[in-house]
Every structure is written in structure tokens, then in C-alpha cells.
Amino acid sequence: MENQVHWGGNPENVGSILLALDGQNAPMKTVLLVSHLAVVLLAAVALWSMRHELSEKAVTGWGWALPPALAIVVAAVLLFVSPGKRFELWVLAILAGLATGMGAGAMVGVNKDFGLKLVRVRRTWDGVGAAALLLLLALARLVTSDLMERPSGKFGVLGAAAAFLAAYLSARVISLHYSAGKTIHLDMVRGQKPNIE
């Protein structure tokens, strides 16, 4: 290639070489920036879609499945773009998240309308808190990697934390729906809080 810059033993070529290398990394930086922005958006949608837990409103299975599904995508992207590939740490984080989520889901009070397939929980904060932490992790990755351009410690901790939270939210919803299948029927309206005395 005629545009290549060669060292040639000349110290004045060092700056040109660094600029050429930076130009080659520009597409990769753009891909990472877009990925980080996408996970921030998906994490924000996951958090927003859990508002029914705070308002105690009844939603369908799709309403319950959306936040964990988005959390899994966010965690997968954060793991994929993670500079530190610590697979053993990530597996441990996923297993811990699954175990903790199953336990947390079993402790939440739940009601079900078997005819309309609606499920609601009494006000709970753990799911919303986990989704909020996932959003903070996505923001932290965006700020440190793209805005501050701070080099990663390559420990894979941020990815492991995201994997833990995604596993927690997924197992929690599975546990909630298992518990809901064993409750008595309660007439509910989608998107409304049932009147329970």
C-alpha cells in the first residue's frame, strides 16, 4: 500500500505511525461505542418495564419475560465486549445469580388470574434494584471505556456483575411463575392493581 507509514529508523515517523494505527482502530472504537450505547438503552428499557412491580399491577407473561430477556442481552453484550475474559468468574457469577434469584422469587407474595393468565406481586424492590444496578453497570462501561477512555483492569468484574444480575432476574421470574401456579385464583384486570382487602 502506498499510504503506509514506515519506521525506517527515523524518529520523526513515530507520530505518523501512531496516527495511522489510531485510524485503523477507529472502526472498532465506533463499534464499541454503539454497543455500549445500545446496552444502556436496553438496560433502561428493562428498568422501565419493571414498573409494574412497584405499582403492584397485573401483567401478562410477556410483561414478566421482557425485563429478564433484555437483561440477558445486556449482560451478553457486556461480556462480549469485556476486555478481560474471565470465563470461570462469569460462570460462578451466573450460578450465584440463578441460585439467589430462585430464592428471592420464592419469597415474593404473588397472585394469579388463571383465566386471563395475569400475574401480579405485592410491592417489591429487589427486581427493580437489580435492573437499576444493571443500568448503572452499562453506564459505567460507557463512561469509562468511551468517554474517559480509561484502560480496563481486565479483571472481568463488570461483566461478571452484569451476568449475575441477568441470571438473578431470570431465575427470579421463573420462581415467581412457579409460585403463581400454586396460588388460588384472583380476578384481575391487566394493567390495574386488584382490590385486595
Say what the pTM is: 0.81
Report the domain count for the chain: 1
Q: Enumerate residues 6+ apart whose C-beta is below 8 A from 80.
A: 35
Q: What is the pLDDT of residue 196?
A: 67
Residue 192 in domain? no
Per-residue pLDDT, 19: 42
Per-residue pLDDT in tens (0 to 9) along the chain, 197 residues: 444 444 455 555 544 443 444 455 667 778 888 888 999 999 999 999 999 999 999 999 899 999 999 999 999 999 988 777 888 999 999 999 999 999 999 998 898 999 999 999 988 899 999 999 999 999 998 898 767 776 655 778 899 999 999 999 999 999 998 988 888 888 888 888 877 65
pLDDT of residue 99: 97
Residue 196 forms part of a structural domain: no
In a domain, 160, yes or no: yes
Give the structural domain span for 73: 13-180
Residue 6 falls within a domain, yes or no? no
Domain assignment present for residue 81? The answer is yes
| Burial of 15: CB neighbours in 10 Å, binned 0-12, 13-18, 19+ | exposed
DSSP symbols for 83-139: SS--HHHHHHHHHHHHHHHHHHHHTS-EEEETTTTEEEES--SHHHHHHHHHHHHHH
**What is the pLDDT at residue 104?**
93
Give residue 84's identity as a one-letter amino acid code: G
* 186 in any annotated domain: no
Instruction: Determine the Cα–Cα distance for residues 105 and 173; give it in Å rounded to an integer.
Output: 7
In-domain check, residue 7: no
Is residue 73 domain-resident?
Answer: yes
